[in-house]
Structure 1
Amino acid sequence: MFAFPRGVECDVVVEYLGERGIGAKRERAELVLASVGDLRIGFWCPRDEFPGFDDIDEVRKTLGIDSLDVLVVVSYRPYVLVDYLNSLLERAHRWYGIRLDLKLLGVSSVEIETGLEEALGRALVEKPSKLGRGVKTEYVCPQCGRDFLHLYRQEKYFSRRYRGRVVQSIYGCPSCSFKARRVDLLD
């Protein structure tokens, strides 16, 4: 395995999202924004090993996290950055009462192709109701048992992780907060 040269990660993100049929817009050199329905996903590919963010206001201004539902950090060591951003979010909530509803995910640039596939799947299942209205299925919710699961998104694509064609389905229960991602192998 090898890591991509600095600055190339965002190009790979835009290309991958295009392959999956998701419109992506390069906001800045280090930031790619994508929308799936009402779900807003940001992909941050920092040039520096460790950013110089001191407080949450800098992060809000630089990355525009107020309008995002999910932020995916694509870096050589993404989990260090995810932990740091998470601590800034917790500090902002504890000290200033600022609560941001943001899911942070990390993708290593060493395994960028399979990592993007997994991160995108996890991002889509984060808030399935934002993907669209959903279609009622015959599956009863395994968590509450009161309602049927709704299918919010289903797509067929070639999976680099499973090395074959797959069908990915995103389910959610309108009665409770249950959500699920199902991947069926076709080959």
Structure 2
Amino acid sequence: MFRPKPIAPESGQESVWDYPRPPRLEATDKRIEIVFNGVTIADTQNAFRVLETSHPPTYYLPLEDIRQEYLIPSSRQTFCEWKGKGSYYTVKVGDKEASDVAWYYSTPTLDFAAIENYVAFYAAAMDDCYVNAEKVTPQPGNFYGGWVTSDVVGPFKGESGSWGW
């Protein structure tokens, strides 16, 4: 089995290989912005981030800082062994729509109770996502929802050859 070689973080960086498994939830006051079809649909400094070995952070935003008129409940549901049953939203702004691109946990597990009804977005489906004004790169692979910024180093789960990690 292939074993990834972690990239050594420089000053001010974090290695995703130092993140725990099971994942950890932590509050962040970094400014998170999401743009879809030219409209800023979310802007907050009250997010949480989930940190898990080999994954860049996934950001969860409070509903009150999201323009909810652009969220359409979806019938899609998934299950996370750490957070519980996830539900999804489709995002629609004007004539542009992206199905099942945001998710949340209405009754998360006890360890993740703080993100009840907070919403995470797949960066790849949005026009732009920002962390402290830095445009993020979506985590490789369509399954994962992490956001890559210059202060996080990998290699990242989702890259070619990472399925067995």
Same fold (TM over 0.5): no
TM-score range, shorter chain: under 0.3
Q: Pick 1 or 2: higher relative contact order, CA cutoff 8 A, min separation 6.
A: 2
Radius of gyration: which is bigger? 1
Q: Hey, which of these two has a bigger chunk of strand by percent?
A: 2
